[in-house]
Amino acid sequence: MIKGIIFDLDGVICFTDKFHYMAWKQMADNLGIYFDEEINKRLRGVSRMDSLEIILERADRTFSAEEKEALAAQKNETYRELLQQMSEADLSDEVRDTLQELRNRGYQLAIGSSSKNTRTILERIGLGDFFDAISDGTNITRSKPDPEVFLKAAEFIGLAPEDCLVVEDADAGIEAAAAGGFASAGLGDAAKNPKVTYPMEKFSDLLDIL
């Protein structure tokens, strides 16, 4: 019996992929490292430092831990500046209406995202105070496919994994849900993952699952 729903943020509630791509692209270009949208796909659902490691695979030199921290901070600063372009218009009517209906039905609703900018994004799209709990990059040490972010979210809303449904758009998220003992609903690429419990074509399909 599902009592709580844990949502990934980017690609599920809203879409900030373009801002991540622009920020990583700017950093890579400054370093003379080739980076395109195909490589960018590998970064979905992956932590900032792990994303940086993927980009640096094509570098012609090695970087120290201090240099990597500085590059990650530089990317995030660019990304945060780009996020200021977001507004409530970036939250679709379908997502807003579905979330409200799930709230009306009495489900506990949480966010489970590896992003450290989760609260900023939610504020920008008008959902700053909507969710019962937020588990994000500020309270975890391991990124997906490790289940930590979802396990923390479940803990924050006082539920066991088997009482929660994870909603994801990335393979790493579905793998994390499965590893943590959660049922999952998948959008996009995640809908094709063999470990997904409920493949979905659109966000509002949640209302038929639950």
157 plus 54 within the same structural domain: no
26 plus 76 within the same structural domain: yes
What range defines the domain where residue 33 resides?
A: 17-83
Q: How far is the C-alpha of 152 from the C-alpha of 158, rounded, in Å? A: 10
CATH number at residue 154: 3.40.50.1000
202 plus 128 within the same structural domain: yes
Last residue of a domain, one of 83, 104, 120: 83
107 plus 9 within the same structural domain: yes
54 plus 94 within the same structural domain: no
Residue ranges of alpha helices (H) inside the chain are 17-31, 37-41, 48-56, 65-83, 93-104, 118-124, 148-156, 171-180, 206-209
119 plus 71 within the same structural domain: no
Residue identified by tokens 């890579």 is: 28
8 plus 60 within the same structural domain: no
pLDDT the model gives residue 48: 87
> Which positions are annotated as active-site residues?
8, 10
105 plus 203 within the same structural domain: yes
CATH number at residue 45: 1.10.150.240
Total structural domains within the chain: 2
pLDDT the model gives residue 44: 76
140 plus 38 within the same structural domain: no
10 plus 110 within the same structural domain: yes
Contact between 132 and 3 (Cβ < 8 Å): no
Q: How far is the C-alpha of 69 from the C-alpha of 44, rounded, in Å? A: 20
β partners of residue 167: 7, 185
Last residue of a domain, one of 41, 62, 83: 83
pLDDT the model gives residue 43: 87
79 plus 98 within the same structural domain: no
pLDDT the model gives residue 13: 97
- Both tokens of residue 184? 């999952």
78 plus 98 within the same structural domain: no
Last residue of a domain, one of 49, 83, 117: 83
- The reported pTM is 0.85
Cβ-in-10-Å burial (0-12, 13-18, 19+) of 57 comes to exposed
Task: List the chain pLDDT tens, one digit each, 210 residues.
Answer: 999 999 999 999 999 888 999 999 999 999 999 999 999 988 877 778 999 999 999 999 999 999 999 999 999 999 999 999 999 999 999 999 999 999 999 999 999 998 888 999 999 999 999 999 999 999 999 988 999 999 999 999 999 999 999 999 999 999 999 999 999 999 999 999 999 999 999 999 999 999
Collapse the DSSP code of 179 into the 3-class scheme (helix H, G, I; strand E, B; otherwise coil) and give the result.
helix
pLDDT the model gives residue 160: 98
